[in-house]
Each structure stands twice: as structure tokens, then as C-alpha cells.
């Protein structure tokens, strides 16, 4: 059967690249929009600035830390060992999964639903695995772990965001002079952002480029980077001009401007965290197809993800955000609860920390669930009345539909490809 793979090798790789780009475009339109929703919704960044930040840091995150999660998505969900005699089935299945997930993301983005790209691709892979290969080929316990993370990630992010916002309320908002307190404490929050992102890059990312450091070295370098970023942030805050009259309508206008500076850093953090975790959804299947076709049907258990595939994924993601991201940005940025820079900061940092930790353990969590959980956490810190329950219901419904939708589409395309090529 290898002849099928060799005969159509170029077609398979071309289809993989095209479908992978389509899926990456969908991730940009839905997932990144959702990652940037807090910054744009709280008016800390314009849409254009959000696209520029995403362009640089999504790509960096994908290339430096994206390889870890790719492994989990690519070979963790189905048992490829049982495919020894028919490796082309895995190629059809992965192509079907990419196309199915891409189509569902297009539908969701059109409606402004922030759905999970991780759900879409995992659902699609499970669908073709169960029907195309056999129920026993699916690692159900792995699927269980991934499903569990869909509950734990929003809870964890929500809890973190809740306490972060409470700390801001206590230290800054509910004081006699919020501006002075913000000037005092915001640099510490900036240090936190810099330290956490640097730490992940040191622990996870440098492995891919072959640099290995001890834990002490990691911590000291991350701390140094955190301090450098804190200094830059403090200088940016010093350059702000405050107008006492601005506080007349809304008591915290000037204080929120200080948090606006902080949101620039958290937007960078979330773009990096997202690139490191979610680029795998688009390129995991592409890497699997390229690996099988290039080795003429031999299913390699472990192969390094080529950098060109990581860049392809990152580029597609940025293009998706720029061309179609505005609808989901509106839902997350202002639909769930009204966001200001201080609330947006707590939500974004809570989510970024959660994503980065999960990406470190190689657990494909959903950025969407994490962020929506974090925004809910901030809303709750202000009281249940601050939440728009109708929008939340719609979001939850779209989450439930995502898995079966991905699976059904994927099964359909799998049989189409099988009929066409075999």
C-alpha cells in the first residue's frame, strides 16, 4: 500500500499545508481574537496594535515553545500502532480532521462564538479514529485527561483572575489615592508578567534550540528579564500625562491609564502563551502527514516538528486575526462583562499563567475556556450582576456543540478521501 502514499505524496503534502493554513487561519479568527479581546475590549490597545503584537509574539511562542504540545496532539490521542498495514488511513484521517476543524471554526467565528480550537481538532481526530480505525484505537484515557482540563483550566484561570483583581481592588482601587497607589504597585505586576513568560521560555523553549540550563540559572535569568521589563514599564508610566479633570466622570480614569500600560505587557504574554500552546492544533496533523509521507509510510513515533511548519502555523494564525477576528473580539471584550484595563489585566494574566503552566506539562488546554473562565472570575469579583448571563449561555452551548460537530465533519471527510484516493 506504500505505492498509494508514494504515488500521491505531493498531493498529500500540498493538501496538508493548505488545510493546515485554513485551520491556522481559523485559530487566528477565533482563538487569538479571544486572546486579544480583553486588551481591545478594555480599550488598552487598538485592533491594529493587537494584530501587530500578535504577529510578533504568536510566532515567537509557536517557534520557541510550540513543539511540546504538538507531540500530545499528534500521537497521543489515537493508537497509530494498529495502522502498520495501512498508514495512508492516518493521512486521510489527519487531512479530514484539519478540514473539519477549520470549517467549524469558520462557522463559529462568523457568529462571534469563542469556541475552542483544541476541542475542534481533538473531536475531529477522535471521530475519524473511532470510525475509521476502530473504537479500540482511541486512547480514551488520554481523551479523558484532555476533557478534564476543559473544566479545570477555566476554574483555575477564573480563581487566579478573581484573586488578582481582588488584590488590585484592595491595594489600588479602594484607596484614597488610586493613581499614587497604581504608580507604586503596577511595576510589581509588570515584573510578575515578565518573570512568568521568561520562565516558561527558559524551561520549555530553549530545549527546542538545544540549550539546557539549571533551574537556578533559569530563575536568575527570568528574574533579570522581569526586572528589565519592569524598568521599561515604569518609564512608560512616568511619561503618562494625568489630567485631574478626567476623574470627574469616572473616578478611576487616570488610574486605568496606568493599567493600560500594563495591558500592553499582558497582551504580549497572552500572545506568546497562545502561540506556544495552540499552534499545535493546526500543525500537529500537518507534521504527522509530512512525517508519514516523507518516510514512505513508516509511522514514526517521534519526529521533530520542522521549523517551517511552526512558521506556517504562526503565519496563518496572524492572518486569521487580521482578516476576521473582530467578531469574537467583540464577544470576549465587551459581551461577557464590561472590561476596563485593570479588570482586563487580571483576566489576561490569570489566563496566561494557566496556559503557560499547561503548555509546560504538555497538556493541550483550551485558551478559549481559560480566558472566558478568567473574564468570568473578574466579573464575579465585582458581583454576579456584572455578568451578562445570556452571552455566557450562548458561549457554553457553542462549547458543547464543538466536539460532536468536529467529529461528525471529520468522519464524513475521512470517507470522502478514502473513496477518492484508495
First to last CA, the chain: 9
Name the residue among 176, 20, 311 with its Cα closest to residue 12. Answer: 20
Check if the beta carbon of residue 280 is closer than 8 Å to that of residue 117.
Answer: no
78 by DSSP, 3-state: which? Answer: strand
- Report the pLDDT value the prediction gives residue 265, as an integer from 0 to 100: 81
> How would DSSP label each residue in 136-149?
GGB-HHHHHHHHHH
Main-chain dihedrals φ then ψ at residue 78, nearest 5 degrees: -120, 155
Residue 152 makes CB contacts below 8 A (sequence gap 6+) with: none
Alpha helices in 239-366 (DSSP H): 253-294, 307-324, 326-330, 341-361
Q: Report how far residue 158's alpha carbon sits from residue 350's, in angstroms, rounded to the nearest whole number.
A: 7
Task: Report pTM.
Answer: 0.78
Measured in whole angstroms, the distance separating CA 256 from the mean position of its chain's CA atoms is 26
pLDDT tens for the 422 residues of the chain, in order: 456 667 777 888 889 889 989 988 988 888 777 777 778 877 778 888 888 888 888 877 777 765 555 555 555 677 666 665 677 777 888 889 889 999 999 998 888 888 887 788 888 888 888 887 778 777 888 778 777 777 888 888 899 999 988 998 899 888 888 888 888 888 898 898 888 777 766 665 555 556 677 778 888 988 999 999 899 988 988 888 877 776 665 667 778 888 888 888 888 877 877 777 677 677 777 777 777 777 765 655 555 667 777 778 778 888 888 888 777 777 776 666 777 888 888 888 888 788 777 766 766 677 778 888 888 888 887 777 677 778 778 877 887 888 888 899 999 999 998 888 87
| Domain-wise residue ranges, the chain | 2-421
Q: What pLDDT sits at residue 148?
A: 78
Residue 70 C-alpha cell reads as: 504538538
Amino acid at each position: 500500500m506504500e505505492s498509494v502514499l508514494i504515488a500521491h505524496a505531493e498531493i498529500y503534502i500540498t493538501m496538508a499545508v493548505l488545510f493546515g493554513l485554513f485551520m491556522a487561519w481559523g485559530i487566528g479568527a477565533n482563538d487569538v481574537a479571544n486572546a486579544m479581546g480583553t486588551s481591545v475590549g478594555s480599550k488598552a490597545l487598538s485592533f491594529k496594535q493587537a494584530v501587530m503584537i500578535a504577529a510578533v509574539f504568536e510566532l515567537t511562542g509557536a517557534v520557541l515553545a510550540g513543539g511540546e504540545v504538538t507531540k500530545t496532539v499528534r500521537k497521543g490521542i489515537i493508537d497509530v500502532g494498529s495502522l502498520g498495514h495501512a498508514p495512508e488511513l492516518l493521512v486521510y484521517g489527519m487531512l479530514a480532521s484539519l478540514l473539519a476543524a477549520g470549517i467549524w471554526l469558520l462557522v463559529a467565528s462568523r457568529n462571534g462564538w469563542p469556541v475552542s480550537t483544541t476541542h475542534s481538532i481533538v473531536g475531529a481526530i477522535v471521530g475519524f479514529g473511532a470510525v475509521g480505525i476502530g473504537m479500540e484505537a482511541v486512547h480514551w484515557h488520554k481523551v479523558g485527561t484532555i476533557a478534564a482540563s476543559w473544566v479545570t483550566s477555566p476554574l483555575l484561570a477564573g480563581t487566579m483572575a478573581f484573586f488578582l483583581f481582588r488584590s488590585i481592588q484592595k491595594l489600588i482601587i479602594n484607596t484614597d489615592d488610586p493613581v499614587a497607589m497604581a504608580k507604586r504597585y503596577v511595576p510589581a505586576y509588570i515584573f510578575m508578567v515578565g518573570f512568568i513568560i521568561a520562565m516558561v521560555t527558559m524551561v520549555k523553549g530553549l530545549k527546542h534550540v538545544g540549550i539546557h540550563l539549571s533551574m537556578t540559572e533559569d530563575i536568575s535569568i527570568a528574574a533579570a528579564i522581569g526586572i528589565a521589563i519592569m524598568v521599561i514599564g515604569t518609564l512608560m508610566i512616568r511619561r503618562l500625562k494625568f489630567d485631574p479633570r478626567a476623574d470627574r466622570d469616572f473616578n478611576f480614569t487616570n488610574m486605568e491609564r496606568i493599567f493600560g500600560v500594563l495591558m500592553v505587557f499582558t497582551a504580549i504574554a497572552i500572545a506568546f502563551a497562545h502561540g506556544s500552546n495552540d499552534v499545535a492544533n493546526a500543525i500537529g496533523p500537518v507534521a504527522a502527514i509530512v512525517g508519514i509521507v516523507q518516510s514512505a509510510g513508516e509511522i514514526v513515533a517521534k519526529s521533530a516538528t520542522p521549523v517551517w511548519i511552526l512558521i506556517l502555523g504562526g503565519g496563518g494564525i496572524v492572518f486569521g486575526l487580521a482578516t476576521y477576528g473582530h467578531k469574537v473580539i467583540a464577544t470576549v471584550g465587551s459581551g461577557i462583562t464590561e472590561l476596563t484595563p485593570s479588570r482586563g489585566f487580571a483576566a489576561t494574566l490569570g489566563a496566561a499563567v494557566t496556559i503557560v503552566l499547561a503548555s509546560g506539562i504538555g497538556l493541550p488546554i483550551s485558551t478559549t475556556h481559560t480566558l472566558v473562565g478568567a473574564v468570568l472570575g473578574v466579573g464575579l469579583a465585582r458581583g454576579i450582576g456584572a455578568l451578562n448571563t445570556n452571552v455566557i449561555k450562548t458561549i457554553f452551548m457553542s462549547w458543547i456543540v464543538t466536539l460532536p460537530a468536529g467529529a461528525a465533519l471529520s468522519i464524513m471527510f475521512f470517507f470522502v478521501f478514502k473513496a477518492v484516493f484508495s
